Amino acid sequence: MLFFRPWIRPTLRSFSTFSARLQQQDGSRILRVVQRLIDERETTRSQISQDMSTPEDIARLRKLKESEPLQEAWDEWTEANKNLEDLKPLLSDPDPSMRSLASEEYESLDETRNNLLQNTFPSLLVPPSTTASLSALVELKSGAGGIESSLFLAELLRMYLRFATNSSFKSTIVAENENDGGGTKDAIVEIKGEGAYDAFRWESGVHRVQRVPATDSAGRVHTSTVAVIVLPLLEEKDAEKEELFSMSDVKIEVMRARGAGGQHVNKTESAVRLTHIPSGITVSMQDERSQHQNKRRAFQVLTARLMDQKITREIAERRATRNNLVKSADRSEKIRTYNYPQERVTDHRIGMSLRNLTSVMEGDALHDFISALKKDHEETQVEDMLRETEG
Amino acid sequence: MTLLSLLEKKWLRQAASSPAHFQSLLRRRRKGEPLQYIIGTQPFGPLNLRVRPPILIPRPETEHWAIQLADRIQNRPRRTLLDLGTGSGCISLLLTHLCPALSAHAVDVNPAAVELANENALLCSIDRFQAFQADFLHQDFPSHPSLSPPYDILVSNPPYIPLAEYLTLSDDVKKYEDPRALLGGNSGLDFYHAIARLAVRERFLSPDAIIALEVGHNQADAVSAILQSAKLRTDVWPDPWGIPRTIFAYR
């Protein structure tokens, strides 16, 4: 359970201030959890049979391998404690130079311990993401503000496409409704690649822009919004395994009557609408040039929405069993404000502001928000874990 | 002058290599040229087929029943298929693509269609497909040297529009697509009679052969009757708009 995907590893260093929140807590809680995991590891090791050949053994060996970093940190911790004990008598040594040497050494050991307690252990306790392999579907919908909202949506879309490219994800615009007066009314983008969902998921919510629209001659600052929904995207074969819906529950409709149809007419549009009857979810797709492709895309979106519901439900269930209050994941909540006059972007969930709006919209600064949000999420998970252990 | 939808404009923009090129594509479309000919391709199931005038542009109704047929025959052992009036090759290429055990012969009276179909096979990397020029209305057709009967599957989207209806079609069909792919004689049924004659012919089809034929919006009954008089049993498949579109026949 303490398996780390390689791409998480680099963030270890950025845990140097793993949490102001955790620091204030008693380090003994973290130690108790770590101690328990180390005990479990020992039990697992003792269960491995001599020739290491049973299927259970393979699972056990994998578990051991996964918890190796924790064992290493624990060994370091024990070692530091032992050295500290050995050092204690020297602190009151009659020789002043020996005393000062010992006290220096003591400080350095203490620092090692603190670092383990505050950074290394917490970062190793973050459970692996269950959605780490998933790609993402990002839906953008213009909200309040009319054309200004559509114009901003087009800019957000560009920002996400650039972010995807910089993160080595492959992005495709699946659907896009342009506005007659400029901008984009709504859009769906497919972001493919391992970790795409985990990177984008924190973008879900209402994005607010405050600026003087190009269309306003009086120069007044307007406030407009764009809603972003990030959905988990599964490979077609994995989607089948999840059994998110049965085909008999999906009503497939084709839009627009074609009169005689067949050879008689050559219509270019082949919109498809799906209705998932149990959930009432409907998906319309018309951006592709064939019915088959529109249908495929529509099923992709339907699958993603149902998968999203499933994940949300599982989170809610886990939290309900834990019986604690956790901040809601309400998608109608305003999550970020882009204030042009002040050149500032603020994420309201973590209270983080960047004073360089252009670098968010045109540069790499979105990475800063996303890694901060990811870190915040991981801290929350560790806190939850500690709370759970305390019962 | 045609009013263009935003979607069509988007597709043309994606197909254009420059803003000036886009404007010229728009002009062609506004004059009524079919979008598919301007772009030069039409997706058909998972395939992306090349299309060019005057070969019939694959229709969504055809895509729908061809996929449905593929689902039925997918897991059968090695089979041979004959496609009569193949045009772009769409039906038999899709079936061969989706059914790994299938190999197909496709014929068309128009050499330009034969060329296009073979080109599409190459584009889609399908080698179990061969198109050649032949007129299946001709009495000598069954002894054509390139044919290798008996076939297990016979498919066709033959010309089925009656002359009177043909004259009322809109320009984007009438002016650009080959009348030989559309006109089915005065009744629209000429080609079905020819197909029924082939079906009853000794050893042209295997004993458990199946036949799937696309029909015009009001021809399902008439074509079913023609096939039934050739001792075949028939089912009718509706298209996605609810119009009886495909006659599925078997012994």
Residues of A in contact with B28 (CB under 8 A): none
Which tokens belong to A359?
A: 């670098």
Which tokens belong to B160?
A: 């089925």
Q: What is the pLDDT of residue B229?
A: 94
Residues of B in contact with A284 (CB under 8 A): none
Average pLDDT over residues B14-29: 95
Task: Give per-residue pLDDT as tens, B145-160.
Answer: 999 999 999 999 999 9
* B216 and B108 within one domain: yes
By CA distance, what is A292's nearest residue in B? Answer: B45
Q: Choose the mutation target among B243, B245, B246 for the interface with A, i.e. most A CBs under 10 Å.
A: B243
Nearest to A269 among B7, B62, B157 (CB): B7
To the nearest whole angstrom, how far is the Cα of A257 from the nearest Cα of chain B?
Answer: 7
- The CATH number that applies at residue B78 is 3.40.50.150
pLDDT < 50 regions, chain A:
1-20, 24, 323-328
Residue B36 lies in a domain: no
Q: What is the pLDDT of residue A14?
A: 39
Q: What is the pLDDT of residue A145?
A: 85
Q: What is the pLDDT of residue A322?
A: 56
Residues of A in contact with B62 (CB under 8 A): 262
Residue B214 lies in a domain: yes
Q: Do A268 and B8 touch (CB under 8 A)?
A: yes
DSSP letter for each residue of A58-99: HHHHHHHHHTHHHHHHHHHHHHHHHHHHHHHHHHT-S-HHHH
Q: What is the pLDDT of residue A92?
A: 87
Q: Do A265 and B173 touch (CB under 8 A)?
A: yes
Task: Give per-residue pLDDT as tens, B43-98.
Answer: 999 999 999 999 999 999 999 999 999 999 987 787 999 999 999 999 999 999 99
* B137 and B112 within one domain: yes
Does B48 touch chain A if contact means CB atoms closer than 8 Å?
A: no
Q: How many CB pairs under 8 A join A and B?
A: 95
* B19 and B50 within one domain: no
List of domains in chain A: 6-128 (no CATH), 135-323+333-381 (3.30.70.1660)
Q: What is the pLDDT of residue A16?
A: 39
* B161 and B49 within one domain: yes
Q: Do B62 and A262 touch (CB under 8 A)?
A: yes
Residue B5 lies in a domain: yes
Residue B64 lies in a domain: yes
Q: Do A261 and B177 touch (CB under 8 A)?
A: no
CA distance A58 to A53: 7
Burial class (CB in 10 A: 0-12, 13-18, 19+), A133: middle
Q: Are A253 and A275 in contact (CB under 8 A)?
A: yes
* Long-range interactions of B181-188: CB distance < 8 A, separation 24+: B181/A263, B181/B54, B181/B55, B181/B56, B181/B85, B181/B87, B181/B110, B181/B113, B182/A263, B182/B56, B183/B159, B184/B158, B184/B159, B184/B160, B184/B216, B186/B162, B187/B162, B187/B222, B188/B160, B188/B161, B188/B162, B188/B216, B188/B219
* B227 and B159 within one domain: yes
Q: Which residue has the tokens 């050649």?
A: B132
Residues of B in contact with A288 (CB under 8 A): 43
CA distance A333 to A348: 10
DSSP-derived secondary structure letter, A186: E
Q: What angle do CA B140, B142, B146 make, to 5 degrees?
A: 105
Does B43 touch chain A if contact means CB atoms closer than 8 Å?
A: yes
To the nearest whole angstrom, how far is the Cα of B202 from the nearest Cα of chain A?
Answer: 31
Q: Do A262 and B245 touch (CB under 8 A)?
A: yes
* Diameter over CA atoms, chain A: 107
Question: What's the ipTM?
Answer: 0.93
* B231 and B191 within one domain: yes
Q: What is the pLDDT of residue A242?
A: 81
Q: What is the pLDDT of residue A268?
A: 86
Q: What is the pLDDT of residue A192?
A: 96
Query: Is the model's pLDDT at B179 over the cut of 70?
Result: yes
Q: Do B181 and A263 touch (CB under 8 A)?
A: yes
CA distance A137 to A204: 11
By CA distance, what is B182's nearest residue in A? Answer: A263
By CA distance, what is A286's nearest residue in B? Answer: B7
Backbone angles phi, psi at A130, to 5 degrees: -80, -10
To the nearest whole angstrom, how far is the Cα of B214 from the nearest Cα of chain A?
Answer: 9
To the nearest whole angstrom, how far is the Cα of A284 from the nearest Cα of chain B?
Answer: 14
Domain count, chain B: 2
Residues of A in contact with B216 (CB under 8 A): 260, 262-264
Does B149 touch chain A if contact means CB atoms closer than 8 Å?
A: no
Q: What is the pLDDT of residue A259?
A: 86
Q: Choose the mutation target among A253, A268, A299 for the interface with B, i.e. most B CBs under 10 Å.
A: A268
Q: Are A366 and A159 in contact (CB under 8 A)?
A: yes
Q: Do A289 and B165 touch (CB under 8 A)?
A: no
CA distance A234 to A178: 27
By CA distance, what is B56's nearest residue in A? Answer: A263
Q: What is the pLDDT of residue A12?
A: 34
* B68 and B19 within one domain: no
Residues of A in contact with B64 (CB under 8 A): 291
* B92 and B17 within one domain: no
Burial profile A259-298: b = 16 or more Cβ within 10 angstroms, e = fewer: ebbbbbebebbbbbbbbbeeeebebebbbbbbbbbbbbbb
To the nearest whole angstrom, how far is the Cα of B135 from the nearest Cα of chain A?
Answer: 20
* B71 and B21 within one domain: no
By CA distance, what is A258's nearest residue in B? Answer: B241
Nearest to A260 among B35, B214, B217 (CB): B217
Which tokens belong to B122?
A: 């190459």
Residue B125 lies in a domain: yes
Burial class (CB in 10 A: 0-12, 13-18, 19+), A26: exposed
* B192 and B82 within one domain: yes
Does B174 touch chain A if contact means CB atoms closer than 8 Å?
A: no
Residue B185 lies in a domain: yes
Q: What is the pLDDT of residue A2?
A: 36
Task: Give per-residue pLDDT as tens, B187-228.
Answer: 999 999 999 999 999 999 999 999 999 999 999 999 999 999
CA distance B37 to B43: 12
Residues of B in contact with A269 (CB under 8 A): 5, 7-8
CA distance A387 to A325: 12
Range of the domain at B65: 41-250
Task: Give per-residue pLDDT as tens, A214-235.
Answer: 877 888 999 999 999 999 998 8
Residues of B in contact with A262 (CB under 8 A): 59, 61-62, 160, 214-217, 239, 243, 245
Residue B85 lies in a domain: yes
Does B181 touch chain A if contact means CB atoms closer than 8 Å?
A: yes
Residue B242 lies in a domain: yes
Residues of B in contact with A264 (CB under 8 A): 161, 165, 169, 173, 216-217
* B141 and B22 within one domain: no
Nearest to B11 among A178, A263, A289 (CB): A289
By CA distance, what is A261's nearest residue in B? Answer: B217
* B8 and B53 within one domain: no
CA distance A211 to A219: 9
Does B91 touch chain A if contact means CB atoms closer than 8 Å?
A: no
- Would you tell me how many other CB atoms lie within 10 Å of the CB of residue A178? 17
